[in-house]
Each structure stands twice: as C-alpha cells, then as structure tokens.
A and B are shown apart, each in its own frame.
Chain A
Amino acid sequence: MEDLKGTGNSGEEQESEDNNGKYLNPTPILDELVDGKWPSFIKGFKDFGERTEKPMVRGVLDQLEYSYKTKMGYWKGGLVTVKGYGAGIITRFSMIKDKFPEAKEFHTFRVQPAPGLHYNTKMLREVCDIWEKHGSGLITMHGQTGNLQLQGIEQDKTQECFDELNQAGWDLGGAGATVRTAASCVGPARCEQACFDNLKVHEKVLKYYAGMTHRPEFNYKLKFKFSACPNDCANAIMRADVALIGTWRDSIQIEQEYVKEWMDEYGEDALFDQVVNMCPTKAISHKIGTSTIEIDNKNCVRCMHCINVIPKALSPGKERGASLLMGGKNTLKVGVNLGSMMIPFMKLDTDEEVEEFIELMDEIFDWWDENGLDHERVGETIERVGMKQFLEAVGIEANIDMIVRPRDNPYYKKHYDSAV
C-alpha cells in the first residue's frame, strides 16, 4: 500500500532559519487563498498568528499547508472531555505530530449559542477573551449543526477554560450519540411570518434535554430544529430528526389595498406570472381588470410563496402553531431522508403545551432506545420497524396528512386473535 500518511521529509516545512522576521512559517500554497475578494480565512489566521505568536496556530497552519500539498487529512479523534460530561469537545490529535509538534493537539469546544444565533457584544467579547487566554483564538461561526465552535485547545487547559465559559453563562453542545445542539431561524425576533415562538420553544426544550446533550446514551445523534414558518430557514426538514415548522390553521390574511399597491408597481402580468400561476395548488384567483385576489384557503397547502412575494398584503392566518415532522437526515447510510409529517398542527404557546411536546418526545426517545440499532437515526428506525408500529407505540394518531397517497399494495395484516 502506498504510504500516503508517511512521516518523511521531517523538518522541511517546520523550520525556517530566515523568515523575514515573521513568526509563522512560509505557507506558499495557503497564501494563494489570501487574495481574492471574498474574505479569506487564511489571511485572518495568519494575521492573528503573527499578532499572538501562538504555537498552535503556527503548527496548524503548517499541517494545513501539508494537507494542501499531499491532498490528505491528518487529524484523528479521541476522547477529551470535561468533568461530568461525555460529549461536547471534539478531540483532535495530529497523526503526524512528529512532523508538526505544535499541532499535536487541536481540540474543539462546541458551545451552544442563544436560539436564532442572537448575540450582544458583551457576551461575545467575553467568549473571545476567555478563548484567547486558554485556546488558539480560532472560532467557527457557526458549525453546520448550529454550534459556536472554539477550535483548538490542549487537553490540560479544557477544564479551566470550560469553567470560565460556564460561569459566563455558556454550556457545551452535543456530540456523538446525544441530543445535539439545536438550530432556529430568526423567528419572531425579526420576522413577520413567524407562526410560533420557536426561539422560546428551542430554549425550553434544549434546557430540558441538557443532560442528554452532554452524555451519549442514544443509538446515534438526534437533532432538533425549529423553523417558525414553512420557508424553513433553519433547514429543519432536511437536517433534523425532529423538526418543528410553524404553520397556521385558518385563512391567509389579506389586505387588498396592498395587493393593489403591489399591482400598481409590478403590473397585472406579474401578478399572474409570479403569484397566481405559481401557487402549487391553484388556490389563488384574480379577475382581469380588478386589483384584488381571492384565496381558496381550503386548498392552500401553506407553502408561503404568495406571502413571500407580497408580504405587505398577505400574512399567515391568526390561528398559528407548528407542524411536527420527523426523520430528516443526510446521506449516511440509507440515503437522504426528508422529515415527514407526524402531527400537522400543535399549539406551542403556553408552557403546558411545550411540556406536552416534551412528554411526547420522551415517549419517542424511549421507543427509539428499545427499537433502534447502533448508529441508526430515528427516521431509519421508523422506516425499518414500520410507521404503524411506531405510531401505535408512541400514541400518535394516524392522519392523512402523513402521506401523499394511501398505499398501493395489499401486503399488510390486521391485528387478529388467533384463538378465534
């Protein structure tokens, strides 16, 4: 086998006797990513490395340059954690530490931000100060699951760093077979289309599951995402095992004077092309020569399109809540699975209603614990064991919104009493 991860050429990249007084070693390949109009992470890292003279930053840049040269990665996992937790720090040891000793350890804190990724500068500056003191000073905002990621700390500094972050109100996120850090769209904080207070529900649900976020006890990861309307700006349907997506049960609110205002600006053809004809269920009608529209709300599927086009004139209805979809996940291993409808409408306004949702989740987690296989996401378990078995076990009532059509094969059997 080719020795792709060999440790040959030791020292070639590591040391340079004359480096024009620079702290960092030359990284000619990475330097090609300094220019160009889009903000360069390499420029940021290098400027920061020169200012702080942190050996870890120098070592990591050296190893990254080597990855660009050899087109291979050189990190391996492990188990670094803080007292009492079994998750939250992504462990990274260099596989070629003899070559790049300064990159020997590069562990990452996954930190749970506030729902909707809202910050004030005081709290963020505090994170920066703690992180520069104990860690590398490199931060990813944000990881794909929604974590504030503090990248690069040595094992013997993790506890002290965590304690300071924790005192400042921060806690670690999930990793491995835990409830993972959740994500939410901007929600009612700045969006008129929000159909439930996803930020409040996010905070309450994830605080309830904090223990299960820190200790891997599941078959595999479990992600919550909260989008306040069907535009799904948190990508819940695709990325979350449990997706709450805001919706409404009554009619779209129309203010015809603003429909007219829109028509006056864009014209009647545009109303047909961009609104009437783009409705997926042909639920919008407009009579030529008028300046109003009518919506057949019985046939509206709450897709959001018309509301997106004319937000001043159209708004979600007044009876608002959320749909629960489950099973969203990406490729590994059975292929992409979009979340599918479980409960078309839930109210989530009061604490009691949110607690009821949490009780249902507890029930579902128990079922998944008993029925799931190692490394199997909950949607995969539901598909393998059977939707009917799942629904009966957790007490969700079968409803026609769960399907696009009834089954087209006769291969099922009713419960029967073999004694009769």
Chain B
Amino acid sequence: MNAPSERTWKTVESGPHTLEGALHPVVVKNYGKWKYHKLIKPGVMVHYGHSGDALYTVRAGTPRQNTVDLIRQICDLADQYADGFMRFTIRNSVEFMFSEESRIDPLINDLEEIGLPVGGIANCVAPIAHTQGWLHCDIPATDASGVAKGIMDNLYAEFKTLEMPNKVRLSTSCCSINCGGQADVAIIVKHTRPPRIDHAKLSTLCELPKAVARCPVAAIRPTIVNNKRSLMVDEEKCIVCGACFGACPSMEINHPEHSQFAIWVGGKNSNARSKPQSMSLVAEGIPNNPPHWPEVNDVVGRILKAYKAGGKPWERMNEWIDRIGWKRFFEESELTFEIDMIDSYRHARTTFNQSAHVRF
C-alpha cells in the first residue's frame, strides 16, 4: 500500500454518483412529465411525454458477471444508437433509450450480434436475479451464475416472446439467506445436515459468543474439545439454516451432496392486485449438479409450463395459485407435496388452513 506521505488525493465521501450528466437529453427534458407508454414488441417500448416527445427503449439481457470488454462494447452501442447513455435494470438487463424509431431494428441486430438477447419486458420471463456463488461468495453451496445461465438457456424463448400470463421473475441463491430474493420461482440452496465443526481451528478463527448468538434456535453451546475451547451443536434443535457458518468458518455447513436445492414459488414484490407476498416451498431434495443442473431445470420447466397453460392474463404466479388452490398447483406442476412443506417455524400457524374450505 502507498505510504500516506505519497498520497496527494484527499477522499471525497460523495456517496452515490450524481445523476447529473447520466441522463439522456430527452429524459432530462421530459423528466417527471411523461404521459403514458406502450409495448411495441418483445423488449421494445415507447414512452410519450406530455411535450409530445417519444422515447424508445430497447432492453437486452446480459450475463451480469461482465468484463470491461463487454461493458465497452455496450458503451459503443450506446454511443452509436442512444446518444451516449444507458441504464441497467435491477434484473441485470441493459436499456438503451433514444427518440429515433428507425434505430430500433439496427440496434437489436447489433445487440444480438454481440450475444445480448433483446426481450424481458412485460409478460415474459425476465432475467434471473442471482447471487455470486463459487465465483466470489465466502459461504456458497453452489454457483448461482452457472445455475442462472443453465436456466436462461432453457427459457431463452420465454424471454423473447410474450406468452406468459404476466411477468415471471426468477431468482437463484447459493445459500438459505437468499440474497437472490423473493420471486415467482426461486431456486435456493437447502442444507440438509447440521454444520461439521473443525474443533482444531475453531477457537482461533471464530469469536465464540458471536457464533453462539447467531443461532436462531439457541442450538450452539460452548464446549472443550482436546483441551481447546470450541462449540457444539445440539443436532436435535438445529434447523440447518447455516447462519452460524457466516459468523464462524469452522462450522462448515456446505457439503457437495448434502447441500441440495429447493424450489419456491409465489413470491411477489409488487402491490398490483394482490398484496406483496413471500414464497412457498414446493420442491426439495434436488441435487446440486453442475454445470447444467438438469434436475433444477426440469422442475422449473414444469412449473412454468403449468402456469403458462393455466394462468389468466395479468395473473402472477401467486395469484394463479390463489385461484386454483395449492392442491391443483401440485397436480398441474407434477410435484409432490411433502410433510416438510408444512411450516414449523415462527409464523407456522398463519399458514394453516383454519377453515373447512377444501377442494376435492
């Protein structure tokens, strides 16, 4: 590291980059004065301002894990077609905005040329919100980028066509913390065994009280092993959440075979129609099988096929399931309901059927 004396720059704690200069001139002119928008075709929409201006947006999927070379290619296209501006969506798509309708098709052509598919707006499968995985995370049981790539290869046509009842948001996460987030369909690591403790290293690597406090079910206790301070886990109590591993790397939760995948459905952030809703577990015990994760793809494919066939226009996944009921969801998706899908955690009774309502 540079010695302080060599350093001439004094840090400016500026927080977020300023918006100034980052917006297209047509955006600046119509800022807060847009009238309405419409979808033109997959991945392309137009916004009209009260001023009468039209602003076209072309949206393309990206790998999310990019290189500066790809970003420069995207900048080249932004310079050529979008007057030097672009933005990204929270699902890792890039958007180019401009006022000349004639630029739409050449831009789409050039995007596809560098491998970036155009689509992902409105009632289709949007790109997967996902986590870092083996590439960068310190507690991952899988590689979310790889899982996401495999799934989007399979769902490529659903990204580029408008055949779903409503938008489909997917996420993948490499541990149960679920940084990928709530989604219509979420693919999340599920540990199945308590952590394996490395007693030889634990006291040197971990702050014991922190690891004890991290456990949501008070299953971790101090102990002495071979004259060294360490921790033990009450395996009866342990809910295999993996929270301790984040605080203490000597409490290894990940395992190549016992860390598996579970699939969750019905998560929704938007307030449109139904209230925002968290996801429900519908498949588990799915092997972590890189590099193509075929078993994961199979389950996701079945769920989306059933939703596509059965959902009414504008119904999100959770709304379709609310209408037809969970029993039929499992039938239509060819999945099996199992006892562990009945909640046993803090808010369990809010998920019980406290009524005589049953579909036969």
Residues of A within 8 A of B (CB): 1-2, 4-5, 29-30, 32-33, 36-45, 47-48, 51, 60, 64, 67-68, 70-77, 82-85, 90, 92, 106, 108, 112-125, 127-129, 131-132, 137-142, 144, 146, 151, 155-156, 158-160, 162-163, 166-167, 169-171, 181-183, 185-186, 188-192, 194, 197, 199-200, 202-203, 206-211, 213-214, 230-239, 245, 270, 273-274, 278-280, 302-305, 308-309, 311-312, 315, 330-336, 338, 373-375
Contact = CB atoms under 8 A, between A and B. Distances in A.
Given A169-B14, A309-B314, A335-B345, A73 B137 contact: yes
Given A41-B145, A140-B64, A92 B31 contact: no
A232 B269 contact: yes
B139 A83 contact: no
B85 interface: yes
Given A64-B143, A169-B18, A203-B16, A158 B1 contact: yes
**Interface range, B side:** 35 or more
A45 B153 contact: no
Determine chain B's interface SS by DSSP, over half rule.
loop
B356 interface: no
B106 interface: no
Interface in B171-185: 174, 176-182
Contacts of B89: 117
B87 A144 contact: no
B135 A64 contact: yes
A64 B137 CA distance: 11
Contacts of A151: 65, 135-136
A202 B16 CA distance: 8
B84 A169 contact: no
B32 A188 contact: yes
Contacts of B78: 121
Nearest to B315: A278
Most buried by B among A60, A169, A185: A169
19 contacts: A36-B150, A39-B61, A43-B115, A64-B134, A70-B256, A92-B136, A118-B86, A119-B85, A120-B21, A171-B16, A202-B16, A210-B13, A213-B15, A235-B269, A236-B269, A274-B314, A280-B274, A303-B271, A305-B273
A117 B12 CA distance: 21
Contacts of B145: 41
B107 to A, nearest CB: 14
Contacts of B291: 29-30, 32-33, 68
B129 interface: yes
B216 A334 contact: yes
Contacts of B139: 73
A-B interface, 7 closest residue pairs, ranked by CB to CB distance from nearest:
A36-B153, A71-B256, A67-B134, A192-B34, A38-B152, A41-B65, A188-B32
B17 A44 contact: no
A93 B23 CA distance: 38
